[in-house]
Structure 1
């Protein structure tokens, strides 16, 4: 059992170093001001100087316009654009064509029908599908809410697009999540934090080691 790991919500040098040192395959920068994990353009530019080309730099956006995307791409030297709002398949295709980068579409899941619906719309259109739990009704954040869904909903499924599992993952449950779902990638944010928006180096290392089956 092994998979690739994205650590999302990287907003400090300490967090970036911890993730890279532990073997993360991708770092996520949140360009969404309401999030406690938000990073500025200058902050992303500073952190990116230390990130090798072998690690994917992923920018998370919620229904962002082209100018915001372009500014973040330039600042963070982004490899992947993660669209975490209600972007349509047409918008996903438009962003891919305009910027020439891989695009990830986040999908909110609670039932098998949610997966079926998303796959019919986005599979093969987005380069990555990110299956995340639906946020609580009182949350203004589309992700990073420490909420999980039934991983068996993904058991045995295959997609044209690459895909990631997210939502409520932490060092204690990620190995089971990978085994049950068959996820080739996992994505974590709140599950490796000591307080909201502040990463914990030990939790990051434990999460990556568990996900990769070390």
Structure 2
């Protein structure tokens, strides 16, 4: 695969974790604006953390079916390079958000089987980027939309062609990310729970190990 794999470290909430991601060579760092998540930060907290982020690293704001008021506050306070939509936003809503705020949008698509890959093509025109993540477990009614340490069959993405750049997420860890890239052909990967000591508590050592493994892969 040509070029180095792009890597996004998501769910950062401390200066130490942000610094580890930057020092390790992350292309994107993600802040989560979703109160149910153990990784949740407010726009004001994220704005403080963002001050340490160099222009070469893109800031991504993860939201879940966010209101226009919240999206507006995030854009004003944090100035993200990307808005990551992790809810059940329709293609029309994705287009609306992109046009309203003038910020590129990455739509997350939950995957369990081939039908989910096929359905994802409906978002190609409205989104600037796509991300494929594992569907949350059905048996957990209160499961988060992401960050569940679950993976899906990476072979489902092998050989697929997309109009827009895409990232692979879901259950990735330092020890399996190289294999995930090889099997799926992913040009980029995203990790959150896979570099944590406990839900919401990032390990600086794991962040750097993941980045090293992903870039080598």
State the alpha-carbon separation in 2 of the partners of residues 191 and 198 from structure 1: 11
Q: Are 2:87 and 1:85 equivalent residues in the alignment?
A: yes
Where does structure 1 differ by over 6 angstroms across 4 or more consecutive aligned residues?
A: none
CA offsets per residue over residues 78-135 of structure 1, 9 Å max, x none? 110001000000000001111111101110001111100111x101221111100001
Q: Are 2:193 and 1:190 equivalent residues in the alignment?
A: yes
| Match of residue 132 from structure 1 | 133
**Secondary structure in 1 aligned to 2:72?**
helix
| Match of residue 169 from structure 1 | 172
| Match of residue 17 from structure 2 | 15
Unaligned runs of 5+ in 1: none
**Secondary structure in 2 aligned to 1:124?**
coil
Moved more, 68-77 or 101-110: 68-77
TM-score of the pair, normalised by structure 2: 0.96
1:7 positional shift: 0.3
**Secondary structure in 2 aligned to 1:57?**
strand
Unaligned runs of 5+ in 2: none
* Alignment length (residue pairs): 213
**Secondary structure in 2 aligned to 1:38?**
coil
| Match of residue 49 from structure 1 | 51
TM-score of the pair, normalised by structure 1: 0.97
**Secondary structure in 2 aligned to 1:125?**
coil
CA offsets per residue over residues 25-81 of structure 1, 9 Å max, x none? 000000000000001122101101111111110001111111100101122121100
**Secondary structure in 2 aligned to 1:105?**
strand
Q: Quick one: which of 155, 158, 168 aligns to 2:158?
A: 155
| Match of residue 101 from structure 1 | 103
Q: Cα RMSD over matched residues?
A: 1.0
